[in-house]
Amino acid sequence: MKFKNNLVKQLVSDYIAELTPIYNKEEAAHMVFWLMEDFFGISRTGMLLNPEKKLSESEMLTLHFAVKSLKSHVPVQYIIGKVAFLNLSLKVTGAVLIPRPETEQLVDWILQIETTPRLKILDIGTGSGCIALAIKQAMPDASVWGYDQSSEALAVAMQNAKSNELDVHFFQADIFQENIDALEPMDVIISNPPYVLQSEKYIMHANVLEYEPHSALFVPDDTPLLYYEAILKQVKLLLVSGGRIYFEINERMGQEMVVLLHSWDYNEVYLKHDLNGKPRFISGLKQ
144 or 46: which leads in pLDDT: 144
Share of the chain above pLDDT 90, in %: 90
Predicted confidence band of residue 48 (pLDDT cuts 50, 70, 90): confident
Which class is 84-286 in CATH?
Answer: alpha beta
pLDDT, tens digit (0-9, with 9 covering 90-100), for 59-112 = 999 999 999 999 999 999 999 999 999 999 999 999 999 999 999 999 999 999
**Burial of 269 by CB count in 10 Å (0-12 exposed, 13-18 middle, 19+ buried)?**
middle
Burial class from Cβ neighbours inside 10 Å (0-12, 13-18, 19+) for residue 244 reads buried
Instruction: Answer whether 169's CB lies under 8 Å from 184's CB.
Output: no
Task: Report helix, strand or coil for 148.
Answer: strand
Per-residue pLDDT of 10-21, as tens digits, reads: 999 999 999 999
pLDDT one-digit tens code per residue, 112-130: 999 999 999 999 999 999 9
Q: For 196-228, b where at least 16 C-beta lie within 10 A, e where not — what string?
A: bbeeeeeeeeebbeebbbeebbbbeeeebbbbb
The sign of the torsion formed by the CA atoms of 28, 34, 39, 41 equals: positive
pLDDT-based confidence at 178, cuts 50/70/90?
Answer: confident
Residue type at 47 in one-letter notation: M
Contacts of 17 (CB under 8 A, 6+ apart): none
C-alpha 104/C-alpha 113 separation (Å) is 15
> Taking the domains of the chain in order of start, what are their residue ranges?
8-72, 84-286
- Quickly count: other Cβ atoms within 10 Å of residue 284's Cβ: 24
| Sequence letter at residue 21 | P
- pLDDT value for 112: 97
- Contacting residues for 254 by C-beta, under 8 A, at least 6 apart: 271, 279, 282
Predicted model pTM: 0.94
**279: nearest Cα among 99, 100, 106:** 106
**Helix or strand or coil: residue 22?**
coil
Between CA 52 and CA 86 the distance in angstroms is 34
Contact 130, 106 (CB under 8 A): no
